[in-house]
Chains A and B, each alone.
Chain A
């Protein structure tokens, strides 16, 4: 089973600053099956990035994703107040049986 490890666990920044969040996989994964989500307090997660670098519908261009193989990055160019939340990476493995793995999350706080 592929394990996703996110870093840092908590990131303290201010509005307007740039945020860089990392996700490392225990073995190589296909970029096609890699995504990022944002979860605001008390809400459901929301898809931000799919296929490692594609913004989901309605996601502003301050969000960008990159990476391949075992190392992936989510960058938020200029933090807005609503961006202070928890972010999860996720990958899909389509072997003999499907497996959906999430990272443990990065908390982005003011």
Chain B
């Protein structure tokens, strides 16, 4: 079964750091572009970052650029999101998602929750 599973969420003080992980199974992870999408409480979906299959090409939403770093380890079928200088408006459920054909998110994980609060 094709699956994505996030972990690493938690409660962090403003200005703090956290690293999220996404583990993939059931498909050839190393050939797919992967992404993070977040959803603030009661809000819609916001794309955060994307990473090509090699891990060499990355892009970020303006709201996280310079603070978040996306990476992957194809040998472990895993993707990561290092989040620094966290702000209260980073509070959200963070989903990892596989990018399928034509830039659509065809597989989603169940999400992991980040709360940034003092």
Contacts and interface: CB of A to CB of B under 8 A. Distances in A.
Chain A's interface size range is 20 to 34
A97 interface: yes
A59 B35 CA distance: 23
A100 B110 contact: no
Nearest to B48: A100
Indicate the size class of the contact surface on chain B.
20 to 34
Interface of A: 32-33, 35, 37, 39, 43-47, 50-51, 56, 88, 90, 92, 94, 97-105
A94 B110 CA distance: 27
Contact of A102 (B46, B50, B111): B46
B95 to A, nearest CB: 6
B94 to A, nearest CB: 11
Contacts of B103: 33, 92, 94, 98, 100
A98 B50 contact: yes
A44 B22 CA distance: 14
B102 interface: yes
Contact of B105 (A43, A47, A99, A101): A47
